[in-house]
Structures are given as structure tokens and as C-alpha cells.
């Protein structure tokens, strides 16, 4: 695994919403292939499943299901080798009843 660092934004364009995001990646055939764990403002989350992945002109997006039961969309800037990570979206899912 490789450590990647970046900043996450609660609301785009508002520095008051800045949160620290650190992402650990699986590096297989290529470096930083997919996120496996991330820390958001000091809380650690394990990526249970990568639900989707897509590419923009200079970014790669990952829709992940974390061990807290919620969905996150993480974006990595790919224009530079040490591209920053950003939290693009968060969705709290209803808890399953046991």
C-alpha cells in the first residue's frame, strides 16, 4: 500500500469547510490503483468495496462503501504523480436492522 495525502472539502470553494483527508492505496500493476483505507479528520475508515470508478480529463473518481456503512466519492488528481485526494460526496445510508 502507498500513502497518498490530500484535502477534502465539505462545500466546494469554502475554506472554512476544509477537512484533512489521507488515503492509503493498493498498488498492484500500477501505483495508487485504488483506495483501501482513508482517514477523514482523524477518523479512520476501511474501504469495504469499490462500487464504481470513472475517469475525468485530469482526475480519477472512486465511489466506495466504507466500514461505517456510508458511501463516499473520492477524487484523485492525476495530472501530477503526487495528485491530491478530495472528498467529492458523502451519503449516509440507513442502518440495517438486525
pLDDT, tens digit, 9 for 90 and up, residues 34-78? 999 999 988 999 999 999 999 999 999 999 999 999 999 999 998
Count the Cβ atoms, other than its own, within 10 Å of residue 76. Answer: 20
68 secondary structure, DSSP code: T
Nearest to 75 by CA among 1, 27, 13, 7: 7
Nearest to 10 by CA among 24, 21, 1, 2: 21
Q: Is residue 61 part of a domain?
A: yes
pTM metric for this prediction: 0.78
Query: What percentage of the chain exceeds 70 in pLDDT?
Result: 76
Q: Is residue 57 part of a domain?
A: yes
Q: What is the number of structural domains in the chain? A: 1
Q: Is residue 10 part of a domain?
A: yes
Q: Is residue 96 part of a domain?
A: no
34 versus 82: the higher-pLDDT residue is 34
Q: Is residue 47 part of a domain?
A: yes
Domain span holding position 65: 2-91
Amino acid at each position: 500500500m502507498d500513502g497518498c495525502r490530500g484535502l477534502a472539502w465539505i462545500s466546494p470553494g469554502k475554506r472554512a469547510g476544509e477537512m484533512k483527508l489521507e488515503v492509503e492505496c493498493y498498488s498492484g500493476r500500477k501505483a495508487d490503483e485504488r483506495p483501501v483505507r482513508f482517514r477523514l479528520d482523524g477518523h479512520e475508515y476501511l474501504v469495504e468495496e469499490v462500487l464504481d470508478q470513472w475517469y475525468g480529463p485530469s482526475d480519477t473518481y472512486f465511489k466506495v462503501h466504507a466500514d461505517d456503512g456510508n458511501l463516499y466519492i473520492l477524487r484523485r488528481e492525476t495530472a501530477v504523480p503526487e495528485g491530491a485526494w478530495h472528498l467529492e460526496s458523502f451519503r449516509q445510508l440507513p442502518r440495517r436492522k438486525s
